[in-house]
Structure 1
C-alpha cells in the first residue's frame, strides 16, 4: 500500500478543475447549461443563479458573455439557428420530387429537432416575455422555408383560390402544435407523430387540389 486513499475532491479542488477547461469548452458548457436553465425558469432567470448551477463565479460567466443579452443571443443561435439546415430550401424546391415527398421529408426532420422540452419552453417563454428571439426566428423561418413552400404550392395549385402565407403558417403551426401539446400543455403526444404530420400535409395539399404525385 502506498498510503494514498481515494477521496472526493474538495470544493476548491473541484473549482480548480473546472477553471482548467479550455475556453471553447467552457463557453460551450455555459451555453448548454444556459439552454437548460432558461427552459426551466424563463428568460428572466438570473445569471447569478446560472453561475451557481455551473459551479462558477458570476464574474467568470461575464468573461465569456459581457451581458445577459449576449448569453441569450448564444442560446438563440444554439436552440434556433443551429437547427435550421442550410440544405432545406434547396430540398424543398427540388421539383424532381413530388411536393408531398418534399414536405414530409422536411417536417419529419424538422419536428425531430424541435419536438423537445428546451426548444418548446424557450420559444414559449420568449414569446410571453415579448423578446425579440421569436420575431427574429419566425422572420428567418418565413424567408428561408415558408415562402419557398408557398411558391411551390402556388405552382401546383388547381382552382380559383391561390395559397397565401396564412395558409402556410396554418400548416406549419398545426404541425408545431404537436410538440407544444406535449412539452407545454403536458398532454400525451400522438401515438404516431409522423402519421399526424402526414395527415396535416395531405389535408393542406388536398385543399389546393394538389395530388400526391404532383
Structure 2
C-alpha cells in the first residue's frame, strides 16, 4: 500500500514592520481589546490577545498602564486637537450656530462603540484618565459655553461659572452624551435625526440659561440717559 507524499505547507511570511508601525498596530489592537474586554487581566493574557509575545509588548510598553495611557492619548486626546475652543469663541458667528456646529463635530468623534465603551470601562475602574476627561469637559468645553452664553445675555463674562450654570450645562451635555450611550451601547431605539436632537436640546438649554440670566445680579444695566 503506497503512502501519499506529504503535503508541502507553504510558510506564510509575516510582513516585517518598522518600530513605529508595530507600535501603532499594538495600540490599535489594544484599543479594540479594551473596548470589548475592559482593563482586567495581566500582560501575558493581553499579549496573547494582541497576537504578540510578552517580551515584544514590554519592549514598546513597559507596563499595561503605559499601554492604557497611550490608548487614551490616541482615542481621547488626539481628536481634541481640532480647534474646538476657537470655534466656540468665534463671536463673528451666532452663538446658536457655534453650539450646533460644535456638538455636531463632537458627537461625530465620540459616538462610536469603541470610544464609548472605553470611556465607560475606565470610569468603572476609576482610572485617572476618566476623571481627567470629565475635568477637561468641564473646564474646556462647558466653561467656555457658559462664558459665551453670559456674553450673549449681557452678563459679566469674567465671572466664574456658578454651580447652577455648570449643573445646567452638565444636564444639557449629559443628555446629548447619553443619546450616544443608548444608541451604541444599549442598541436602544433613538430619534435618528441627530442634528435635530442637538437642536432640540439647545432650545431647552438656551431657554433655561436665559431664565437664569434674567434673575442674575450680574446682568449689565444699560447706561441711564440724562435728559436736559
Pairwise TM-score range, normalised by the shorter structure: 0.7 to 0.9
Deviation of 1:8 (Å) = 5.2
User: Which residue does 2:205 correspond to in 1?
Assistant: 204
SS in 2 for 1:138: helix
5+ residue gaps, structure 2? 1-7, 156-161, 212-228
User: Which residue does 1:9 correspond to in 2?
Assistant: 11
Tell me which moved more, 105-114 or 46-55.
Answer: 46-55
Deviation of 1:45 (Å) = 3.9
How many residue pairs get aligned? The number is 198
Instruction: Report which structure shows greater RCO (CA 8 Å, sep ≥6).
Output: 1
SS in 1 for 2:90: coil
Structure-to-structure mapping, 1:6-155, within 5 angstroms: 9-10=11-12, 13-14=13-14, 17=15, 20-155=16-151
Change (3 A) 1:7 1:106: farther
Deviation of 1:53 (Å) = 3.0
Residues 46-76 of structure 1: CA distance to partner in whole angstroms, max 9, x if unpaired?
Answer: 3323322332101101100011110000011
5+ residue gaps, structure 1? 1-5
Change (3 A) 1:85 1:198: farther
Decide which structure has the larger Cα Rg and report it: 2
Change (3 A) 1:109 1:133: same
